[in-house]
A and B are shown apart, each in its own frame.
Chain A
Amino acid sequence: MSRLQKLVIGRVSLGILTLFVVSALMFVGIELLPGDLAQQILGQSATESTLAAFRAELGLDQPAHLRYLDWLGGVLRGDFGTSLASGREVSELLGPRLANTMFLATYAAVIAAPLAVILGLLAALWRNTLFDRGVNLTALSAISMPEFFVGYVLILFLSIKAGVFPTLARIDSATGLWDALYRSFLPALTLILVVVAHMMRMTRAAIINVLASPYIEMARLKGVPRWRIIVQHALPNALAPIINVVALNLAYLVVGVVVVEVVFSYPGLGQLLVDAVSSRDFPVVQAVGLFFAAVYITLNVLADIISIMSNPRLRHGR
């Protein structure tokens, strides 16, 4: 087995292991909690019979490892249990919201990734000009702002004052594609503003890093125009770190969805998760948390693998 294969298999198995730890986290946590979970949720005034019924519903009358294995078996069959708050199947609750969240995240990602790379290229091309400074300063302040601040500012200006976009991004299965794109534009824009800054700065740094190499100086001495040096000579060699940063930021974007969905009342998984945490609806928290963790871990592992593959020293190790 080659070194590369070993590294990749190592990354993937670490990712899978982490997912198992996350999935077991809630079971272990509930076990470690002082006192009885049913008592804690229902309060001191609950009668003995309601407590017993609740324990049976949660499966608390069984030992933790059995409950975990039972739950894990269900997950493999696509059964995530039933919601404590609504009594509905968790998988049934998740389905449409999962689609909505993926729609919003993809929407933002499709615009943010190319935009960030182009802005980074331009900032590197016009290094130390007013444009570069302006973009950098905007990026730095965008990183420091909480998502909900960006979201509400956009609502105030683009929807209340200008009246161009709706305040709330309500979509359902009957909404057509163009309509859905229009209604979820503001949440998507919020996510874009939050992730573009970081991606752009890293793209700029990666390209400027390559620009210091001797072969770039050679090209410059030959009289190649500046934009061609960047696009043809620097970009291919900076591509690996850029793709890595894009993957990491997409991971961040998927998690950032949680706050943005709440701001815009977007019917996605993030809102479901927040509601479930407030009402302590464990099966739902478990399922949604696991989904977000899985996407995040997958994208991170992907970023790792790409950076391993793009590095010849790791690819052909001694």
Chain B
Amino acid sequence: MKSLLKSAPPSAIFGMVVLAIVAFTGIFAPFVAPYGETQVVGDAYLPWSAAHPLGTDNLGRDMLSRMIFGARNTVGLALLTTAISFSVGSTLGMLAALKGGWLDEVLSRLVDVLMAVPPLILALMLLAIVGPSIPNMVGVIAVIYVAPVYRLSRAAAMNVVGLDFVEAAKLRGERTPWLLRREILPNIWSTLIAEFGVRFCFVFLFIAALSFLGIGIQPPTADWGSMVKENATLISFGDITPLIPAAAIALLTVAINLIVDWMLHRASGLKS
């Protein structure tokens, strides 16, 4: 582990440091934040001061505290959503590769259609039907991102299902769950992990964008996307405060991309 970290380029170390900071503040949000998530502590739009390092927002809540709780909410929901789409997508993908036949055909055509529609438009149409709320948003985005995960894990599993040890396991009389979990999954694991990083970035940006548009995470829950929207008026006075949550989103995405780049580089066997 130590030598692994030593071999990491500065860009990947930077990415890991950012990720660690965000994870720490997210997990320990109630202890790190000076005020409560929705606690009104003063007038609206107070300037930066010792008591409120980033000032207050449009309703007089402490910006810094909301940034810290926002790390927990935005990143946490993005993780949850990505995890759901990965568990569903990879299970279906491996199942389709293993079983083939009509199941594969039906699922693949369905995924083709799902991937032919722009994700944002699809999400907006679906959210119009079910109504905007946090569980609905998580469900809708998870469904949309099942498609690319399905495609990837099906393609990766296709290379494995024909191999002898899978054949042997089948002849041994192992059941489908065993075949998926013990024979196929360990062999496509590394592909899925790298993809998880990439998809997490997409999902994270997606949730931020939806919240920014006002149809994602709903107030008063603190979240980086809607914080930009709520305080956008400050920009016309030359105040950069509303840009801080947006910059945090960009920073975290860059950080994860740097880590994923390094992991892909290592996985491809290129040593530079």
Contacts and interface: CB of A to CB of B under 8 A. Distances in A.
A146 B121 CA distance: 16
B235 A156 contact: yes
A310 B110 CA distance: 29
Contact of A30 (B129, B215, B235, B257): B129
Contacts of A14: 112, 116
B117 A18 contact: yes
What class of interface size applies to chain B in its complex with A? 35 or more
Interface in A3-21: 14-15, 17-18, 21
A160 B209 contact: no
A282 interface: yes
A289 B132 CA distance: 17
Interface string B103-134: 00000000011001110111011111111100
Contacts of A292: 118, 121
A152 B212 contact: no
B120, B128, B130, B232 — most chain A CB neighbours (10 Å): B128
A144 B116 contact: no
A26 B129 contact: yes
B243 A280 contact: no
A181 interface: no
Interface stretch (A94-102, A234-242, A254-262): A254-262
A167 interface: yes
Nearest to B255: A144
B213 interface: yes
B208 to A, nearest CB: 6
Given A155-B235, A280-B128, A293 B254 contact: no
Contacts of B215: 274, 277-278
B209 A144 contact: no
A254 B209 CA distance: 16
A185 interface: no
Given A255-B121, A289-B121, A141 B254 contact: yes
Contacts of A259: 120, 209, 212-213
Nearest to B251: A144
Given A148-B228, A289-B125, A33 B254 contact: no
A162 to B, nearest CB: 11
A274 B213 contact: yes
B246 to A, nearest CB: 4
Nearest to B201: A144
B238 A278 contact: no
Given A18-B117, A160-B236, A289-B124, A144 B254 contact: yes
Contacts of B85: none
Q: Is the interface of A mostly helix, strand, loop or mixed?
A: helix
A153 interface: yes
A155 B237 CA distance: 11
Contacts of B225: 146, 148
B124 A152 contact: no
A145 interface: yes
A171 B148 CA distance: 39
Contact of B118 (A145, A262, A296): A296
B212 to A, nearest CB: 5
A274 B128 CA distance: 9
Nearest to A142: B250
A276 interface: yes
B250 A278 contact: no
Contact of B212 (A25, A148, A156, A289): A148
Interface string A21-38: 110011001100100000
A148, A160, A167, A289 — most chain B CB neighbours (10 Å): A148
Contacts of B122: 22, 293
Given A14-B112, A148-B209, A293 B235 contact: no
Given A152-B228, A277-B132, A145 B253 contact: yes
A53 to B, nearest CB: 21
For the complex of A and B, the 6 pairs showing the least CB-CB separation, nearest first, are A149-B246, A144-B253, A29-B129, A255-B118, A145-B250, A285-B128
28 contacts: A22-B122, A26-B125, A26-B128, A30-B129, A144-B201, A146-B246, A147-B209, A148-B228, A148-B246, A149-B243, A149-B246, A149-B247, A152-B246, A156-B235, A160-B238, A252-B118, A255-B120, A258-B121, A258-B124, A259-B209, A277-B124, A277-B215, A280-B128, A282-B128, A285-B125, A285-B128, A293-B121, A296-B121
